[in-house]
């Protein structure tokens, strides 16, 4: 089979397009014939050895996929031919991948199989942030930073579906328009020097009940300024690279909470709740209350260019890599 390989920590351009033997599933695993692999921000880090988990070299990157079960390793109730989507530690940027059955969800017949690869990470994270960690209630106001990105756009959609008043901040007019199309009541261009004042004014000076922050850096200080008394900062990631320091006096003065959100480990430690989360997300999708935005479907062969685009903030929503599309 064809797969992308990282032989040594590198940039996307230095990955190698390799021929590998078909992987064999172990106990509790199935082999998935990949319909689509979805890109995630962590791919940009893992390839360079800058992610917290470093796979043994050489490895095929990619952590999120959909496809059909092609071989079964035993100790699982998944059967040959079933349609699935889910997570692997690495190895999704390939034509086939062996996956722990516990990390897969069945894809309903009405859902497009490649698009299902775009669901688990960003909507799972959004759900975990807004409900399990943020405990947001209908009618509350949420500000989503980097609102046109993968996690951001999923959170805008899910926030709207949950009855929140969603405000969005994103870099540029096009990204703001996209956030509005996907459910934001108002969107603010975060490249404008006065965007924080604009958001504050839009809330009548009160501020927002929660901020979803996948960016970090200077955005986190802005988020603290924009929170209303008793508000929650939902810390999701540091796409800007810099890990912000949070001044404790800011938390004290407005009785704010800074809340960490990390979906992957939560999912592994709470299998039943995580399965219920995926079921509820598929249900919302089938009611059109959420709809993953796939802004690009590219042949698997184009993974290096696609990953570079994601790292340079040139992408919106989710990007899919399709095996066999160029062969």
Ligand X SMILES: NC(=O)c1ccc[n+]([C@@H]2O[C@H](COP(=O)([O-])OP(=O)(O)OC[C@H]3O[C@@H](n4cnc5c(N)ncnc54)[C@H](OP(=O)(O)O)[C@@H]3O)[C@@H](O)[C@H]2O)c1
Interface with ligand X (CB under 6 A): 40-42, 121, 125, 146, 148-152, 170-171, 175, 190, 214-215, 236-241, 261-264, 310, 313, 315
Could you tell me the smallest distance in angstroms from the CB atom of residue 32 to ligand X? 21
d(Cα 103, Cα 95) in Å, to the nearest integer?
18
Could you tell me the smallest distance in angstroms from the CB atom of residue 237 to ligand X? 3
CA 296 to chain centre: 15
Could you tell me the smallest distance in angstroms from the CB atom of residue 215 to ligand X? 5
For ligand X, the closer of residues 29 and 40 by Cβ is 40
For ligand X, the closer of residues 125 and 157 by Cβ is 125
Residue 58: asked if its preceding bond is cis (omega within 30°), the reply is yes
- Residue 29 pairs in a beta bridge with 100
For ligand X, the closer of residues 162 and 306 by Cβ is 306
Could you tell me the smallest distance in angstroms from the CB atom of residue 146 to ligand X? 4
Could you tell me the smallest distance in angstroms from the CB atom of residue 179 to ligand X? 9
Burial (0-12, 13-18, 19+ Cβ within 10 Å), 302? middle
For ligand X, the closer of residues 75 and 197 by Cβ is 197
Could you tell me the smallest distance in angstroms from the CB atom of residue 91 to ligand X? 18
For ligand X, the closer of residues 146 and 208 by Cβ is 146
For ligand X, the closer of residues 160 and 267 by Cβ is 267
Could you tell me the smallest distance in angstroms from the CB atom of residue 311 to ligand X? 6
Sign of the torsion formed by the C-alpha atoms of 257, 258, 264 and 265: negative
For ligand X, the closer of residues 75 and 194 by Cβ is 194
């Amino acid at each position: 089979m064809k797969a992308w390989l990282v032989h040594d920590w590198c940039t996307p351009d230095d990955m190698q397009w390799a021929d590998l033997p078909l992987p064999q599933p172990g106990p509790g695993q199935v082999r998935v014939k990949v319909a689509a692999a979805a890109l995630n921000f962590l791919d940009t880090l893992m390839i360079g050895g800058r992610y917290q988990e470093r796979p043994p070299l050489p490895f095929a990157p990619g952590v999120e996929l959909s496809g059909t079960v092609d071989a079964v390793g035993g100790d699982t109730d998944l059967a040959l031919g079933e349609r699935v989507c889910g997570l692997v530690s690495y190895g999704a940027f390939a034509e086939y991948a062996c996956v722990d059955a516990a990390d897969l969800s069945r894809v309903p017949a009405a859902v497009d199989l490649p698009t299902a690869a775009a669901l688990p990470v960003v909507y799972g994270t959004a759900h975990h942030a807004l409900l399990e960690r943020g405990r947001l209630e209908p009618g509350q106001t949420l500000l989503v930073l980097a609102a046109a990105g993968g996690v951001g756009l999923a959170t805008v959609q899910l926030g709207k579906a949950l009855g929140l008043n969603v405000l969005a901040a994103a870099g540029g007019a096009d990204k703001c328009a996209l956030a509005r199309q996907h459910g934001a009541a108002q969107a603010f261009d975060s490249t404008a020097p006065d965007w924080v004042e604009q958001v504050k004014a839009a809330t009548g000076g009160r501020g927002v009940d929660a901020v979803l922050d996948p960016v970090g850096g200077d955005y986190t200080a802005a988020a603290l300024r924009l929170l209303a008394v008793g508000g929650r900062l939902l810390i999701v990631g540091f796409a800007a690279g810099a890990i912000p320091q949070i001044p404790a006096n800011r938390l004290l003065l407005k009785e704010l909470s800074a809340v960490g959100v990390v979906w992957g480990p939560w999912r592994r430690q709470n299998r039943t709740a995580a399965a219920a989360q995926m079921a509820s997300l598929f249900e919302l999708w089938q009611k059109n209350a959420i709809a993953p935005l796939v802004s690009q479907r590219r042949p698997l062969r184009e993974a290096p260019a696609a990953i570079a685009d994601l790292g340079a903030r040139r992408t919106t929503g989710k990007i899919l890599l399709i095996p066999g599309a160029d062969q």
